Amino acid sequence: TLTYDPFSYLKIPSNLINNFGDKNSPRVIADLSFKEIVNDDLKKLGLTYLPDLDKWNIGDQAPDYIFAGDQKVNTNLPESLDIILNYKTWLSNSDNHKFHPFFTFEEFVKNNSKQGIINFVEISIDDVFNPTFKKVSENKNIVFVLTTKNKHGLPEQRRVFIELAELGANQPVIIKRDYDIADYDKLQLFAATDLGGLFIDGFGDGVWLKN
């Protein structure tokens, strides 16, 4: 029996964790892990600081989170924007409530004694069938980041969503795809197909693209 209806749209329920899941619209993660983050980077993302008014102008295209990886963040941040750091880098920034840890699945299994308010945990189809996954999924402060190395990853990621539902894992899930496409129009078409097909089925609580 399918855990979703392929013929009509119905959002698959997920737990509320911060601003992910439940009735929230999908959150957008911008990946700036390839460089040190400065104020000009925020401007390009639609986040402009207005010094005369001491406030931020936030455009419609602005992301909800920035993945900084191991990079430094050398700029002030608007209240609406949080930063995701690789786990080991986050450990030295864990006192900042705007910084959140990103774990690989293996890291979370081994190092989950030190956690953030929100814990972003990368998973793939192999991890979901790992014997330790059931215990990991019992943690209620997790947002899963679903990845795939499959060139045609949509059916694989759909299979993971079905398995999560069967396991009763109701954590929010960010759909992440990595591309290497120079043509911007082609990138838009591929991403719209790969992610749109899942969102139409009611899956997913966030978007994370890397190119």
pLDDT tens digits for 68-113? Answer: 999 998 888 998 899 999 999 999 998 889 999 999 999 999 987 7
d(CA 95, CA 116): 9
Q: What is the pLDDT of residue 1?
A: 60
Relative to beta strand 119-123, strand 27-31 is unpaired
d(CA 102, CA 107): 9
pLDDT reading at 6 higher than 80 = no
Helix (H) or strand (E) holding 28: strand 27-31
Residue extents of the structural domains in the chain: 27-210
Cα–Cα distances (Å) from 165 to 14, 128, 176, in that order, read 10, 11, 19
- For the chain, how long is the longest CA-to-CA vector? 59
Could you tell me if 167 and 137 are in contact, meaning their C-beta atoms sit under 8 angstroms apart? yes
pLDDT digits (tens, 9 = 90+) for 161-203: 999 999 999 999 999 999 999 999 999 999 999 999 999 999 9
Cα–Cα distances (Å) from 112 to 87, 119, 129, 175, in that order, read 10, 9, 19, 22
Nearest-CA neighbor of 143 among 18, 41, 44, 52?
18
pLDDT digits (tens, 9 = 90+) for 15-39: 999 999 999 999 999 999 999 999 8
